[in-house]
């Protein structure tokens, strides 16, 4: 009898015991124990599933009109009335400018497309395209989609258009915030506070019952964070200092954010 690899066997066990908590219609929350740490009950992968027919995404930045202060994800939520928020990709040494393309109909933080393969697109301009799409530049021409959406956040691929883990194996572990889309068109905000290599986390996500089609890395280390404010539930999670095993006393302020807002999109 062929033995399953250890990680695969553990994943099969974890798939059998999970339940989504409906925070409100179109917004579901689930916590999965990470099989990378089978002996730890605190090593969790937290997932917020968002139905884009009931909620829409909004990108904000310290560089946007009327904004002049960095905030934690929870602080952005409270100030802007977001239901949830997560990092809008990595930023440069000026603590303002995104590493890659980051623009909305109201402001442009970084107009330059980098070599990174994935671009999160939302604020669609017509109803003949998906409400939210992760564009994989290895299998799609961004030029075709550039005029179909108003907002773009570019970052590094985790899971490709073919469902493959495309991250190198032998890299350090750190906390990770990421975003994905599933086979039903939902948006998945994902946070792993316990350090993983990105390759490990991508494998875990592929093995979990999430039906992920594409996934994009957003941020790592202590800056990686996700917050949720829905009804009576208020959740704030953030990462560890990379390589130390210690978490900051509070979530660090970050310059750029993707927020989740109640209500349908406004097709532009």
**Cα separation of 259 and 148, whole Å?**
21
pTM of this structure: 0.92
Contact 106, 64 (CB under 8 A): yes
Beta bridge partners of 58: 259
Give kind and range of the element (H or E) at residue 111: none
The answer on pLDDT for 242 being more than 90 is no
Q: Distance between alpha carbon 102 and the CA centroid of its chain, in Å?
A: 15
Domain limits, the chain: 6-262
Task: Please give the average per-residue pLDDT across 39-55, as a whole number.
Answer: 93
Share of the chain above pLDDT 90, in %: 82
Task: Please give the average per-residue pLDDT across 4-8, as a whole number.
Answer: 51
Q: Which is nearest to 180 in space by CA: 115, 133, 114?
A: 133
Give kind and range of the element (H or E) at residue 142: helix 142-145
Share the mean pLDDT of the chain.
92
């Amino acid at each position: 009898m062929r033995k399953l690899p250890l990680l695969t066997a553990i994943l099969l066990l974890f798939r059998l015991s999970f339940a989504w908590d409906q925070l409100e219609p179109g917004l579901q929350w689930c916590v999965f124990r990470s099989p990378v740490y089978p002996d730890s009950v605190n090593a969790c992968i937290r997932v917020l599933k968002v139905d884009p027919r009931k909620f829409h995404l909004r990108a904000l930045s310290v560089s946007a009109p009327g904004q002049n202060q960095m905030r934690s994800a929870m602080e952005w939520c409270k100030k802007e009335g977001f239901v949830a928020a997560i990092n809008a990709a990595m930023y440069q040494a000026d603590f303002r400018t995104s590493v890659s393309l980051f623009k909305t109909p109201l402001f442009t933080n970084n107009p330059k497309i980098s070599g990174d393969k994935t671009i999160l697109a939302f604020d669609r301009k017509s109803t003949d395209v998906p409400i939210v799409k992760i564009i994989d530049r290895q299998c799609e021409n961004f030029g075709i989609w550039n005029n179909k959406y108003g907002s773009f956040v570019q970052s590094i691929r985790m899971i490709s258009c073919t469902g493959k883990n495309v991250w190198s194996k032998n890299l350090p572990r750190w906390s990770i915030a990421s975003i994905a889309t599933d086979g039903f068109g939902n948006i998945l905000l994902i946070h792993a506070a316990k350090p993983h290599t990105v390759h490990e986390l991508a494998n875990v996500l592929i093995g979990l019952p999430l039906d992920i089609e594409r996934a994009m890395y957003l941020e790592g280390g202590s800056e990686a964070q996700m917050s949720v404010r829905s009804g009576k539930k208020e959740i704030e999670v953030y990462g560890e200092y990379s390589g130390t095993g210690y978490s900051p006393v509070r979530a660090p302020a970050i310059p750029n954010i993707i927020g989740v807002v109640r209500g349908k999109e406004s097709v532009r």
